[in-house]
Structure 1
C-alpha cells in the first residue's frame, strides 16, 4: 500500500518545496522505516527539489501475521483471510501508518515554517487504489470534494487483459487542491477507512475521540458528516449515540433526511419557487433544492465564507451551466442583520439555525427575517428539548450540539413562534418531524409562517 504527497509551490513564490520535509518532520535525504502493528512503514522522497517535493509512504504488510493475530480479529482457519486484497488497498491500515509517522504533522505544528503550516498549500495526493464498499454512488467525490479537493477517479479494471469483465470496485484516485497539510493528513486518516467501510482492528469507545481529533476544523460542516461518522464508527449504534449522531435502526430514515423532507414539503405547501436557505452551511439542503426544477431561484446565505466555498463545491457551480449559475447564488451574510438583497422571495428557510443564535440576538434575527427580508413564508426547524430525555447518552440539561445556545421545549417554541407571527403579521402552523413519542413529541419541531394579507 502506498500514498504520495507532492508539494509544488506557485512559480515566483520564493518558497523552497523541500520545506515539505520540515512540515512533515521527515528529512528528504533519508529513507526511514518505522515498525507498527500493521507492518513496516517506509518513508522516502523520490523527488526533492526547490521546485517540487514528493514524499512516499509505503506500508509493507505481513498478511499471514495479520491474519494470525488475535489483536486484529484474524481467523487463521479461513482461506478468505489469506487470499484477499487487504495488503494492497489503502484502508484503516494506512490510516494507522499515517498516524504513526505523521503524528506531529497532523497537529499542524512546525517551528521552522509556522506560516506554511498554517497556510493552504498547493498539494497533490495520489492513491493507486482505494476501495468503495457499500454501494454508495460517487462516494470518493462526495467525501473529498467538500474538503477542498479536485478529485480525479479512474476505475481499476478487473483484468486489463479481459476488458469485457468490466471494472472492479477499486479506483485510482488523485486529489489536487489548496489545503492545509495538517488537515489533508487528518482527512486521509478518517476518509480512507470510510471509503473501505471496514477496519482491521476492534473498534471501541476511544474511536470517538480519534474522530473528534482528526475531524477538527473540517468534519463538523461536511455535508456527508453523518455518512462519514457512521462508516468510521463501523455502524455501531452505541458509538453513534455517544458521538451525538441521529441513530436510526436498519431500514429507518435518518432524522436529517426526514427534516429536509419536511422542509421541502412545507415549501411545496407554501407554493414557493424563489427560496433562501439562511444558514445554508456546506450545502446539504441546497443540493436537494437544486435538483428540483420547480425552484426557479435559490439563494444560500451563511456567515462562514468557508462554508460557502464548500457549498459551491458540493453544487459544482464551477462546472454548472449558465442557466444554473443564474438560478443559484451564494451570499455571505448573517441572519441577525437586514440585507436588502434578500427581499422579495417566496420563502426563507432557517433549518436548525435559531438554536445557534444567542438569545440576546433573537430580536435582531426576528427583525432581519420577518421585517427586513419579509418573505411570503418562513420555515423554521429546531430541536424539541422535550425529546432529549430519550437520548440515553445525553445528560439532563445538556444540548444535542456543543454550539447550541439553547434548545426549546414544544411550549417554548410555540410561545416564541406565536408572538413573532402576531408581531409581524404572519400566521403560523406547527408540524412534527421524525417519529413521535406519545408523551414527548417528535425529535424536531417545525413552524411554517405565512404572511397574512393586509386587511
Structure 2
C-alpha cells in the first residue's frame, strides 16, 4: 500500500523536519502485520514528496494473536496488503507520531501553519462510493478527486471495483491532514483489523479534535470508526456534545441561509479551529513558555499546547471538576511518562478569586470565557487575573454580537450559558479600561471571516505588560 504526501511550500524540503524523517534516507519500521518504509521520491526546494510504503504480510496478519477472522483461505488471500485501511492508519500513527500531534522541534512555527498539500492514495476501499469520499473530505477544506478503478481494464464488462483512486489537495496544517487520514481511512473501509474497545473512543476524539465535532457526518464517522458498536458510538457522540457545550464553538449547528461566501469559508475551516490557531499565533508572538489556560473546560486548547514543545509548563484551570476530568482523559494523563506529566497540570480554580498558584506565568489565555461570567462579577475576574496573577501577557477571545446577523435561525445568544455578548465597540472599551487599570497595552484583532459591515465572528485582545 502506497501513500504519498507532497508540498510546494518553500523550501519544500522542510517537510522532512515536520515529519522528522530525513529526505536523504530510507527508513523502515515494524508495524502491524508487516513493515512500513518511508522515502522521498522527490526532494527539491520547490516540491517535496514523501512516500509511505506499507508491506503487509498476509501470513503474519493471519496469525491467531492478530485476531483476524474469516474463511481459512480468506485469511491469507485478501485485499489487505494493497488497499488503504486501518492498517495504514496504524502505520501513520507509529511512523509520523510527532507530526500527527502537531509537534516539531525544529520547525514549530511551520507545524502550526497551513501549507499547500497534495495527498494521493491509489487504492482506497470505499463502502459508499466516490460520493461518500467527497462528503467526508470536502467539509474539511480538501479539493477531492476520486475515481473508481475497474475490476480489470481488459474486461470492462466485469464492471467497477470497490476501490477508489483518491487525490486530495488543499492548504492545511500537516497535522490536520494526517489526522483526517488517520480517522477517515477506516471509516471509508468500514472495517478494522483489530478489536475495538473503549480506548478507540479516546483515539477518535483526540484525532478528531477541532474538526469532528462540526463535521456534518460526525455520527457516520463515529459509528464506522468504532466498528458499529452502539455503546461506544453513543459515548463518543455524548463526549463531543459535552465538549461543544463547555467550550462553545460559537456557531449554531444550522446557521441557515447566511451569505454563501461566509458559509463556504466556515465549512473549509471551522471557527473553533480558527480561534485556536489565532490564540496559538498570539502566544508565539509573546515568546511565552509558561502558559495558563484559564477556563480550560474539557481541554481543547490544552491538547494543542501540550503538542507544542515550545511550552515548558502548562496549567489548565477550571471551576468544573467534570470538565477537568474530561480534559485529563483527553490528555491521557494515565499514559504519560513522568517527564510529560511534570509539564502539564490541571487544577480546580474559580477565576473570580485570587489564587497564588496562578502567579508568575508568562501568559494566560481566556478563550471564550468572559461571556460566561456575570457582568457584575467581571471586575472580580479582572482583579484576580490581571491584578493578582499578573502574567506577562493575557489573550482574551469572545463572540462579536454584531456578527450574529449571519445566523438566521439564532434566537438570543450563541450559547445558553452566555451572560452577555459584546459588540466590537463594547469589547474595545472594556479592553482599554482593563489595560489602563492594570498596566497592559492592548491589541484587538478579528478572528474568522471579517465582514466589512459587522466584523468577524470572534474578537481577540492581546494584552501585554507595559
What TM-score comes out, normalization by structure 2 length? 0.56
2:308 paired with 1:349: no
Query: Gaps spanning 5+ residues in structure 1: where?
Result: 10-14, 247-277, 290-297, 313-333, 366-455
Alpha-carbon distance between aligned partners in 1 of 2:184 and 2:132, rounded to the nearest angstrom: 10
Q: What residue in structure 2 maps to residue 279 of structure 1?
A: 251
In structure 2, the residue matched to 1:196 is 189
Query: Which has the higher Rg, Structure 1 or Structure 2?
Result: 1
Matched-pair contact (CA < 8 Å) for 1:193–1:199 = yes
* CA distance in 1 between partners of 2:230 and 2:130 (Å): 23
Q: Structure 2 CA distance, aligned partners of 1:146 and 1:244?
A: 19
Q: Which residue of 2 aligns with 1:43?
A: 38
Deviation at 1:111, TM superposition (A): 2.0
Question: Using the alignment, how far apart are the partners of 2:202 and 2:51 within structure 1?
Answer: 28
Deviation at 1:238, TM superposition (A): 1.3
- Secondary structure of the residue aligned to 1:5 is strand
Matched, 1:63 2:37: no
Partner residue, 1:379: none
1:408-419 mapped onto 2 (5 Å cutoff):
none
Q: Tell whether the 8 Å contact from 1:95 to 1:190 is kept in structure 2 after alignment.
A: yes
The reply to whether residue 181 of structure 1 matches residue 174 of structure 2 is: yes
SS of 1:203's partner is: coil
Give the Cα–Cα distance (whole angstroms) in 2 for the partners of residues 28 and 46 of structure 1: 9
Distance 1:68 1:335 in 2: 55
CA distance in 1, matches of 2:4, 2:83: 14
Alignment deviations for residues 145-169 of structure 1 (CA, whole Å, 9 cap, x no partner): 1111101111100110011222111
Q: In the alignment, does 2:417 pair up with 1:358?
A: yes
Instruction: Give the 5 Å matches for 1:397-436.
Output: none
Would you say the 8 A contact 2:35–2:54 is kept in 1?
A: yes
> Out of 64, 74, 77, which is 1:80 matched to?
74
Q: How much does 1:302 deviate?
A: 12
Report if the CA contact (8 A) 1:156-1:170 is conserved.
yes
Q: Encode CA deviations 1:53-98: one digit per residue, 9 max, x unaligned.
A: 11000110011221123333345x5222222211111100000000
Q: TM-score, normalised by structure 1?
A: 0.58
Separation of aligned partners in 1, 2:402 and 2:14: 46
Residues 310 and 105 of structure 1: CA distance in aligned 2, closer, same or farther (over 3 Å): closer
Gaps of 5+ in 2: 240-249, 272-397, 424-466
Instruction: Identify the range of structure 1 (120-129 vs 81-90) with the bigger mean alpha-carbon deviation.
Output: 81-90
Q: Which residue of 5, 12, 25 maps to 1:17? A: 12
Number of aligned residues: 288
Q: How far apart in 2 are the matches of 1:234 and 1:170?
A: 20
Deviant stretches of 4+, over 4 Å: 300-306, 338-342
Q: Secondary structure at the match of 2:12?
A: coil
Distance 1:150 1:303, change over 3 A: closer
Q: Are residues 1:54 and 2:49 paired?
A: yes
The answer for the alignment partner of 2:107 in structure 1 is: 113
What CA RMSD, in Å, does the superposition of the two structures yield over aligned residues? 3.2
Cα distance in 2 for partners of 1:339, 1:225 equals 26
Residue of structure 1 in register with 2:6 after alignment: 6
